[in-house]
Amino acid sequence: MASMGRALYSVGFWIRETGQALDRLGCRLQGKNHFREQLSRHRTLMNVFDKAPIVDKDAFVAPSASIIGNVHLRPGSSIWYGCVLRGDANTITVGAGTNIQDNSLVHVAKSNLNGKVLPTLIGDNVTIGNSAVLHGCTLEDESYIGASATVLDGAHVEKHAIVESGSLVRQNTRIPSGEVWGGNPARFLRKVTEEERAFFSTSAVDYSNLAQVHAAQNTKNLDETDFKKLLYKKNARDAEYDSLLNDDLTL
């Protein structure tokens, strides 16, 4: 019986291998790359003990982002590719319309020099640039954090304030409304202009619209995506997609 079981296993193995080889050959003949894709064990949403993420149905979370533990995402918020929001020791709240761009890190403070346990609270329509680091801080509505900026424990960025790219906001620093801060450590540079003040809301809307495009694309299977590529090559890109990407969204 044991030898029969081994024989059946071997036959099954070779049948599967043959089937996979034929599938790869068929994909190559069709010009598709399905067989090159590797399965990923990445989990976009993950519990930590009894702490589970709460994600609104209208929020966008990119497939390669990680939302861990006690994290609340409100409507219209968008968490982009490679971001990590880790709410294991405390709460992270992301307000409506807020965008946290690629490779940013958001964490909370369990212990620090002042012995405070601090959540990270992010208001509505906040723009957070690529590779920013937020740790146990508060960002009020329509504030702006530049790319690669770091905001540390207990810092408080008020409404319509700007932290310039690459800046370091030290612990317990408060940035008043309508001011631009930058440098390492960050310090006051100037007042926000009227053009910048108008940008706060338009940036949030632009990223909310762009998130809808990415959310729609991420729900499609590879066959649909390949079909779309053929259409784009034949008819350029469709008008709806171009209209959403027409504005320059680069920060």
Instruction: Show the CA angle centred on residue 172, arms to residues 169 and 178, nearest 5°.
Output: 60
Which residue matches tokens 């996979």?
20
Beta strands 120-122 and 84-94, pairing class: parallel
Per-position pLDDT tens, the chain of length 251: 667 777 888 888 889 888 878 887 887 787 766 556 555 667 889 988 888 899 999 999 999 999 999 999 999 999 999 999 999 888 999 999 999 999 999 999 776 566 677 899 999 999 999 999 999 999 999 999 999 999 999 999 999 999 999 999 999 999 999 999 999 999 999 999 999 988 888 888 999 999 999 988 877 765 555 656 656 665 655 555 555 555 444 44
Cα atoms in the 13 Å half-sphere on the side-chain side of 122: 32
Query: Residue 146 and residue 127: Cα distance in Å, rounded?
Result: 8
